Structure 1
Amino acid sequence: MPGKENSRRHAVVIGASIAGLCAARVLSDSYSQVSVYERDELPGTAANRATVPQDRHLHMLMARGAMEFEELFPGLLKDMVAAGVPILENRPDCIHLGAAGHVLGTGQTLRDEFTAYVPSRPHLEWQIRKRVQAIGNVAIQRRSVAEPAFDPLRRRVTGVLLDPADPPGDPEFVSADFIVDAAGRGTRLPVWLTQWGYPRPTEQTLDIGINYATHYFRIPDGLIQERVVVAGASHDQSLGLGMLCYEDGTWVLTTFGVADAKPPTTFGDMVALADQLLPSHFADALAQAEPVGEPAFHAFPASKWRRYDKLDSFPAGILPLGDAVVSFNPTFGQGMTMTALQAGHLRRALRSGADDVVAEVNRATAKTTFPVWTMNAIGDTSFHHARTEQMPWWWRPSGALFDQFLGAAESESVLAEWFLRRFSLLDSLYMVPPPRIIGRAIAHNMRMWLRQRRERRGAAVTALRSP
């Protein structure tokens, strides 16, 4: 594998996505100059971007993600709250969480501290972008990267070739000591690797077939106490939804279908689905909703994990980050948090003086990706009819056991809180209950079984005694 970087003069980031902005923040501490190249025009306010079609749909910032972003950008969370971003502190009554057909109940108080922030994706990206733009040695430029420049003798990437600016001409070469590929799911790094004589990474995929439909709306204040509303798809219900209240008081309603199921396409039909999947007080509130703008649609065919960590050889000087490495089922809302974790890996590798920063970050990313990817895969194959060629035999039995756990969490607040914290990636990335939690779930289910058995016997006796 390539050796330790000897120069930290200039770093380049491909893409000004959240991943790219986090990478630029990290690189600014170690490189004299950081250039971020983004083909899209970046708005000066919190607004949707043409090259980020998914930002029109519901995004969730997990509690762990909020902590990771705050570590990279101190003061971010405070400023978001000052800008009107809802904050939920130990308020389970502000969360309605339906998972795999089960509505989890946490009671009125949480035993452990739990804080959630609810920014829209455009607002979060804008808050991060303006902080990166304020860093003295970082420059964000509206230019497209055609491809990196590779030196076969040194076996390293030496810079990037930029698409010619006006007037048209030859590509412009920009020298760089280190490049971060944050181009997202559409990254061309696997193609470039083959052009440079390296193998492509193996890919793990889950064909999930998600279709999105989203509409924004407003309702009078006070009609809905909850600020985070989730009704996930299940084995017997391929449609689900999420509903959040954002910083400007506008609500977003995203409906989705898994296994290629088509969600509603009009606001009226979206509300009808919400009436079907949510408790009645939501229907009463949505009856007074005023739609804002037009509906937005998006498709997400498959989750994908490119296993760069398994390659025996890799060129020096280039690192994939964010969705360029792994893109998760977006209905679980974990993508931004996992990107923040990757940025943290890069920061630690640079600070530690690792001999091979790229290999170190790839290994660390694989380590944090594995538990989240595995649990998502178990959930998708067990409840969402996902297809994959790489399914171990134990996934479906694990899904069945977790279905029983979620059933217990409907009325056992300790189990529900444990799931909420793990689902938010707060206590651990592993969704594996410890023995005390497993024991509590078994005991609860046993009590429920005995109660139902007594009720059935009582009903049978009553029926026999009836004339």
Structure 2
Amino acid sequence: MGRKHAIVIGASLGGLCAARVLSSAFDEVTLFERDPLPDGPAHRPAVPQGRHVHLLMARGAAEFETLFPGLLDDMVACGVKMLENRPDCIHFGAAGHLLGTQHRLQDEFTAYVPSRPHLEWQIRRRVLALDHVALVNHGVDEPVFDGHRVTGVRTADGAMVEADLVVDATGRGTRLPTWLSQWGFERPREETVDVGISYATHQLRIPDGLVDEKVIVVGASRTQPRGLGMLHYEDGTWGLTTFGVGKVSPPTDFTEMRALAEEILPPHISAALYQAQPLGDIALHKYPTSRWRRFDQLDRYPRGILPFGDAVASFNPTFGQGMTMTSLQAGHLRRALQEPEPESTFLKATTKTTWPVWTMNAIGDLTMHGADGPAPWWYRPVGALFDQFLGAAETDPVLAEWFLRRFSLLDSLYMVPSARLVGRTVAHNMTLWARSRRSP
């Protein structure tokens, strides 16, 4: 493969990360983005989830720092909050269980809490400052396929731009499956989970001193199909997102949001919302389906083009893993470009990191969150066992630490407890059961 020119279609977070990686392997990289890009941190219509709270996992922060050295320090200098694993930094609930707030975890790690517009701006300005990366504020009609490989793109005005590699970072709405079909290849099989998520988000200003926590998350459960997330952002404002899963509608006004907070949050946090000043209007968004396009399973795949980011897999956003999974793909792309056939290498590597995260999300959604979709027989017993594990983790700091580090994708992408941890869970729950039997 020649290494003169690479093209990236789409300049959102995924496209920017891909461009950064390509800039180390190609003489020239061109980003094509049809929508205007702001000069500073600002919401973009092309990022419909941008107004809603985003979690940057500890693993994602580390991966982004590898791509963009100095990024984390610069964000902190701009006011981005550092999330240390102290009880006063986080209120975290998963599947109806409260974790990680009673104990300081033993193994130190630090995460960061940038708003999506701020993180994207920090990365965008670094990418566009690279000497051989150019941004073209123009749309792409389609890639050009010569019968053997993709050789470039045709822009919306009909111009042909040659390239040695094209990266499709156009997100969930990618047209790559259609293009493959037009070129004589099979469309990729799709794995889907109909999560039926609806969002409502309000930006707030809360008086200082009322809430010490920087991140407040309470996920949905079997008995409560609505959840909530609150993040303290770099400009001193808070993002408050309420959501419903399994096609349950979230609160749609601030009064209903506060009522949900009173139901599922500690009193000091819900009380603070009654002193909060709402900013602007409520933003609404729907996310009906998680989708994984199995490009890796195609018997034939063209050279010269790669899907990236949400074009490959879009995950349930209530788990907060999307940006971190994109950062992992950037690492796969960097390593794949060292191989003679980067397309196959990249797709296989992406599958290895997608499968465990996708599977655990699907188990949670299908067994606890009222989602629709095909479910192997073993999903339900695994979901029940994990519910028992989370119940024990509420009062066992060792189990809580294991879960929070795995949920942050730090130690491993597989959330499979060892036999020792399973035994600890059983013993812990039996002890609690015995105590409850002795209590009046």
TM-score norm. by structure 2 comes to 0.99
Aligned: 1:416 with 2:400: yes
Aligned: 1:381 with 2:381: no
Give the secondary-structure state (helix, strand or coil) at the position aligned to 2:50: helix
Can you give the 5+ residue segments of structure 2 that lack an aligned partner in the other structure?
Answer: none
Within 5 Å, which residues of 2 pair with 1:29-48?
Answer: 29-48=24-43
Tell me the residue number matched to 1:464.
none
Give the secondary-structure state (helix, strand or coil) at the position aligned to 2:286: strand
Within 5 Å, which residues of 2 pair with 1:180-191?
Answer: 180-191=167-178
CA distance in 1, matches of 2:187, 2:71: 38
Please tell me whether the aligned partners of residues 106 and 413 of structure 1 are also in contact (alpha carbons under 8 angstroms): no
CA distance in 2, matches of 1:130, 1:105: 35
Quote how far apart the aligned CAs of 1:438 are: 1.4
Tell me the residue number matched to 1:371.
356
Tell me the residue number matched to 2:426.
442
Structure 1 counterpart of 2:134, one-letter code = A
CA distance in 2, matches of 1:372, 1:47: 30
Give the secondary-structure state (helix, strand or coil) at the position aligned to 1:430: coil
Please tell me whether the aligned partners of residues 245 and 251 of structure 1 are also in contact (alpha carbons under 8 angstroms): yes
Give the secondary-structure state (helix, strand or coil) at the position aligned to 1:98: strand
**Pair member with larger Rg:** 1
CA distance in 2, matches of 1:325, 1:76: 26
Aligned: 1:159 with 2:152: yes
CA distance in 1, matches of 2:135, 2:251: 39
Tell me the residue number matched to 2:14.
19
Aligned: 1:212 with 2:212: no
CA distance in 2, matches of 1:100, 1:186: 30
1:276 to 247, 259, 263: 263
CA distance in 2, matches of 1:312, 1:92: 50
Deviations 1:269-325 (A, max 9, x none): 111111111011112211100001110000000000000111110111000000000
Quote how far apart the aligned CAs of 1:453 are: 1.3
CA distance in 2, matches of 1:107, 1:438: 21
Quote how far apart the aligned CAs of 1:105 are: 3.9
Tell me the residue number matched to 2:136.
141
Aligned: 1:392 with 2:376: yes
Give the secondary-structure state (helix, strand or coil) at the position aligned to 1:414: helix
CA distance in 2, matches of 1:293, 1:216: 7
Tell me the residue number matched to 2:308.
321
Structure 1 counterpart of 2:207, one-letter code = P
CA distance in 1, matches of 2:259, 2:33: 40
Please tell me whether the aligned partners of residues 100 and 404 of structure 2 are also in contact (alpha carbons under 8 angstroms): no
Deviations 1:33-74 (A, max 9, x none): 000000110000000001111101010000000000001000
Tell me the residue number matched to 2:414.
430
Please tell me whether the aligned partners of residues 215 and 231 of structure 2 are also in contact (alpha carbons under 8 angstroms): yes
Give the secondary-structure state (helix, strand or coil) at the position aligned to 2:328: helix
CA distance in 2, matches of 1:262, 1:446: 37
Structure 2 counterpart of 1:122, one-letter code = P
Structure 2 counterpart of 1:453, one-letter code = R
Within 5 Å, which residues of 2 pair with 1:339-354?
Answer: 339-350=326-337, 352=338, 354=339
Tell me the residue number matched to 1:175.
162
Moved more, 185-194 or 218-227: 218-227
Tell me the residue number matched to 1:405.
389
Deviations 1:116-164 (A, max 9, x none): 1000000000000000011000001110000001101xx1001100011
1:253 to 231, 240, 244: 240
Quote how far apart the aligned CAs of 1:106 are: 4.5
Please tell me whether the aligned partners of residues 168 and 305 of structure 2 are also in contact (alpha carbons under 8 angstroms): yes
Distance 1:365 1:295, change over 3 A: same
Structure 2 counterpart of 1:191, one-letter code = T
Structure 2 counterpart of 1:235, one-letter code = R
Give the secondary-structure state (helix, strand or coil) at the position aligned to 2:49: helix
Q: CA RMSD in A?
A: 0.9
CA distance in 2, matches of 1:432, 1:448: 23
CA distance in 2, matches of 1:201, 1:395: 24
TM-score norm. by structure 1 comes to 0.93
Tell me the residue number matched to 1:64.
59
Deviations 1:220-279 (A, max 9, x none): 111101111011111111111101000011001000001111111111211111111101
Tell me the residue number matched to 2:344.
359
Within 5 Å, which residues of 2 pair with 1:217-232?
Answer: 217-232=204-219
Give the secondary-structure state (helix, strand or coil) at the position aligned to 2:246: coil
Please tell me whether the aligned partners of residues 93 and 108 of structure 1 are also in contact (alpha carbons under 8 angstroms): no
Structure 2 counterpart of 1:377, one-letter code = A
2:145 to 115, 137, 150: 150
Can you give the 5+ residue segments of structure 1 that lack an aligned partner in the other structure?
Answer: 165-170, 460-467
Work out the number of aligned pairs and report it: 440
CA distance in 1, matches of 2:87, 2:191: 35
CA distance in 2, matches of 1:326, 1:151: 27
Tell me the residue number matched to 1:463.
none
Give the secondary-structure state (helix, strand or coil) at the position aligned to 2:195: strand
CA distance in 2, matches of 1:192, 1:227: 44
Give the secondary-structure state (helix, strand or coil) at the position aligned to 2:289: strand
Give the secondary-structure state (helix, strand or coil) at the position aligned to 1:314: coil
Aligned: 1:195 with 2:182: yes
